Amino acid sequence: MSLPNAEALPDIQEDQPPHEPWRAYQGHETFFPYLLNRSTAALNADFQVLLREHRMTLLHWRVLAFLSENDGLGVSALANVTGVDQATLSRALTVMEKAGYIARRSSTDDHRVVVIKILPAGKKQFHLVLPPAWEIYERAVHGLSQQEQALLHDMLNRIRDNMTRAGGQ
């Protein structure tokens, strides 16, 4: 996939010795970890306000989103996809269970395994928050073509996979 507006990309010096790749550093405005952190912080600032208005946390949102896509995940799998440890997830699930959003059930395959099921109130809450959440997403990708958005999603997923394989998480 070719990158649109490639001529607008910064000039990258690739003639650095391979044993000193850090010498290619051109400042924080081109340093990927900094840019990703700042972009995430900006996105989350508005998203956190939205979630607070709906008495939710980011973890509650993630749980409802993943269960909306794949209901009946086990606690371990849900902790993995939401990016939190099982103890943190368990506390969030207790709050969500009391709110009537989810239920813990024994797996039909193995009664020792607990699966998390989204309840009608959880589906309703997710679909209530989704439209304004999508507006935040649209503002974030404003000016990016559909192709650029797809490329961005692909690249972020590949970076996450690289870091997971490399022991980053």
- Which CATH fold would you assign to the domain 29-140? Arc Repressor Mutant, subunit A (1.10.10)
* 73 close to 67: Cβ distance less than 8 angstroms: yes
- The predicted-structure confidence for 14-41, as pLDDT tens digits, reads as follows 665 567 777 777 777 878 889 999 999 9
CA 150 to chain centre: 15
Q: Where are the domains of the chain?
A: 29-140
| pLDDT tens by residue, 91-107 | 999 999 999 999 999 98
Name the pTM for this structure.
0.79
CA distance 113 to 74: 7
In the predicted structure, residue 134 carries a pLDDT above the cut 80: yes
Long-range pairs, 71-78, Cβ under 8 A, ≥24: 71/117, 71/118, 72/105, 72/115, 72/116, 72/117, 73/115, 73/116, 74/107, 74/113, 74/114, 74/115, 74/116, 75/114, 75/115, 75/116, 78/116
